Amino acid sequence: MKGTFGRLVRIFLSYGVRILSLLLAVSIIAFVLVSASPIDPVQQYLIRLGTTVSPEQRTEIEAYWGVHQPPVQRYLHWLSELLKGNLGESSLYRRPVSDLIRERFLNSLTLMLCAWALSGVIGFFGGCVMGMCRDRLPDRILKRICYILSSVPTFWLGLIFLLVFSVRLKWFPIGFSSPVGVLSESVTLWQKTHHLILPALTLSLMSFSNIALHTRQKLIDVLNSEYVLFARARGENDWTILRRHGLRNILFPALTLQFASFAELFGGSVMAENVFSYPGLGSAVSAAGLNGDLPLLLGITLFSTLFVCVGNLIANLLYGVIDPRVREVGES
């Protein structure tokens, strides 16, 4: 067990360094990209201010934004503030970006966690069914469903759900994670859940096919393996084989894949949150982009990268736990 622990520490350290280098690179690239934009953040800021601004005020604001400084200096200034924990102020919401991210991330996390768990459980189960019934009717039907689902854009699926469950059946509200006009403290858990179900369902259906098809393939590999042949020779039936060998060998790869797919999850949540007007990071990032809210755009970009990297780190660690034993399966 000591070997495993040492390996995990090594993975943690080397991947941690990698995460830092990636975050630094993303911060530079993102900063260059938003600086290159023809969209003028000062202009955007002023437009939203509504009132007429005197030239003096304008110069003051421009100085605040550092428009006249060279880009490198501006970047270094932004970076040093970032390291102090100051992500700037959102021009769109008029609040510190860090507060905004914290609050919105909590909402997004709830949504993503639900979808992640749901797609993981259903996808894994579906994959097992497909693998066990390989090339027979249940497998063919589920496989077809998976292929179709992976061709359906997330946001359209969301629209259809809205149309069916909210507009027609009136089971769920249209938009907003809490009822309009109710203070956020007095929103009950039920109301929150009520607003969460459709977006979570949409998001989970998006990643369902990926995990299901992966699990199917892994299970088929296991069923074709030499050790399952031996298990059959010893009189184990299909069900016993799935229970004793199948689950044991495919659960970890599936979990690893789930953690490694945080990028798709986050991308999907951007779409789902926009369709359902869910107040998470996804709807904030598109609003920031559309309204030229640079601090928010940069902040969320960095944060989403961190989120994805943490997922990858967990996947790598999980892989490190099973690595030596899996290596031999991989070779056969």
Binding residues among 258-277 for other proteins as defined by CB under 8 A: 263-264, 266-267, 270-271, 274-275
Smallest gap from residue 283 Cβ to other proteins (A): 10
Interface mask (CB under 8 A) for other proteins, residues 149-188, using x and -? --xxxxxx--xx-xx---x------x--------------
Which one, 13 or 29, has the nearer CB to other proteins?
29
Cβ density class 84-99: b for 16+ within 10 Å, e for less: eeebbbbbbbeebbbe
Interface mask (CB under 8 A) for other proteins, residues 29-58, using x and -? xx-xxx-xxxx-------------------
Which one, 200 or 284, has the nearer CB to other proteins?
284
Q: Is 27 a binder of other proteins (CB under 8 A)?
A: no
Smallest gap from residue 216 Cβ to other proteins (A): 12
Q: Is 308 a binder of other proteins (CB under 8 A)?
A: yes
Smallest gap from residue 166 Cβ to other proteins (A): 8
Q: Is 3 a binder of other proteins (CB under 8 A)?
A: no
Q: Is 207 a binder of other proteins (CB under 8 A)?
A: no
Q: Is 301 a binder of other proteins (CB under 8 A)?
A: yes
Q: How far is CA 143 from CA 74, 125, 201, 239, 261, in A?
A: 52, 13, 19, 21, 20
Q: Is 234 a binder of other proteins (CB under 8 A)?
A: yes
Instruction: Tell me, by CB under 8 A, how many residues bind other proteins.
Output: 72
Q: How far is CA 219 from CA 142, 247, 253, 297, in A?
A: 15, 8, 10, 41
